[in-house]
Amino acid sequence: MDRDNARYMKDEYLKIIKTYLGQLQTAHTPDISPAIQRYTQNSNLKSLSFFYDTLLKRSTFLDYGIPKKPIVGYFCNLVPEEVIYAAGAVGVRLCSSDDVCARLGEEIIPGDFCSMIKSSCGALFTRRYDNLDLVVVPAACDGKLKLAEVLSPFKEVYFLDFPRDSDYLKNAEIWTQKYSQFAEFLRKRYNARVNREDLLNACKLTNKRTDIFRKIYSLRASHPGIINAFDYFAIASASFVCEANIWSAYAEKLYKEAQYLAGNKPDFKGKKILLAGSSIIFPNYKILDILNELGCDISADTTCSAYGRMYDPVEIDEDTQDGILRALSLKYIAASMCPCFLGIDKLIDRIVEIFREHSLNGIIYHNLRLCQVFEMQSFALRHILKDKGLPFLFIKTDLSKEDTGQIKTRIEAFLEMMR
């Protein structure tokens, strides 16, 4: 059997691991309702309630509310949602930044490991994965590779493997082949067609979402504070667990409301910040809380949980099935700014372009501790952006609140430098 579809342990070993973990106490799903209530009260927009309600209701997938559709969980931006939609399934992104889940994850993996991997493992103890039919794990980093192995005793895992090189000319055929194999796997699993027409329809759904997201992104950059950073990342996080057509319909309503408010609100007086680096996923809002307290607005970002997830459309030059899959690889892999891939030029060019286009004041590069690849590229970013005259601050943190005071002091000094 191709290793993409294989289990990672013998049945004998799987049974031992399942027995051991079955003896551990199952935790309750972390209660995010106080955080949702707090950030809802800070919102300027009535139409935000749908997105916060979605985060609350679907913090576990036990009651997802979609009958007769298999739920496929996946990690990272490298898994093509369109292929999942084309197979008649619903895709939910599983990336987690919950400190409670991260501490639970230390039952399985070492404490001195990536916070997101720990949080994703800890979600096992909250029954978050119980209603998933399949979990798709891409070869984004070494942590994800071993995550596939850790999850394999509990769910069927499809490992989506490809080279960590975003050079299109060198790798387009490999990417297309891998996506084609994934489509064939889903076709057989769900007895679905997954043909050209199905893929085109799925691309229309996600391109509609991209269209409205771009409008929201542009409005936030030109009218800071109308859609605050808490709401923006809640909108993005809700897209993890909401079908694209439903998300787009409510996002359109939100955009129209924000447009109206933009014409009636005084100009923003604080600093406009571009946030880059590790993803921001609800409820991990520590950096957002600090910046808001200091009167700043995150007016733009390049994170994989928001901008990197929804900004780029599927651009189809050849509408054959292979042509569509190739276009998907361009969207998800060739355009990726993930530091797990070779090459930093795309990220630097995009940061400079966004910074200048929207007349921003500074760049904060946010790194979740123990994700070494993000931290390693901070050296190049710091010196290249400094040479271009762009204020830059590197922040390294984790999911806990313990370093809040220290981070606040550093950001205060950064803002003082920009005066």
- Fold of the 1-30+61-194 domain: Rossmann fold (3.40.50)
Average pLDDT of the chain is 90
User: Tell me: the pLDDT tens digits for 301-348?
Assistant: 999 999 999 999 999 999 999 999 999 999 999 888 888 887 889 999
Order of strands across the sheet that contains 134-138: 90-93, 71-74, 134-138, 157-160
Per-residue confidence band for 231, with pLDDT thresholds at 50, 70 and 90? very high
Least confidently predicted of 41-45, 179-183, 289-293 = 41-45
Please, which residues bridge with residue 157 across strands? 135
Phi, then psi, of 173 in degrees rounded to 5: -65, -40
**Tokens 């490298």, located at residue:** 78
What is the model's pLDDT at position 5?
Answer: 39
User: Tell me: the pLDDT tens digits for 155-210?
Assistant: 899 999 988 887 888 888 999 999 999 999 999 999 999 999 999 999 999 999 99
Per-residue confidence band for 44, with pLDDT thresholds at 50, 70 and 90? confident
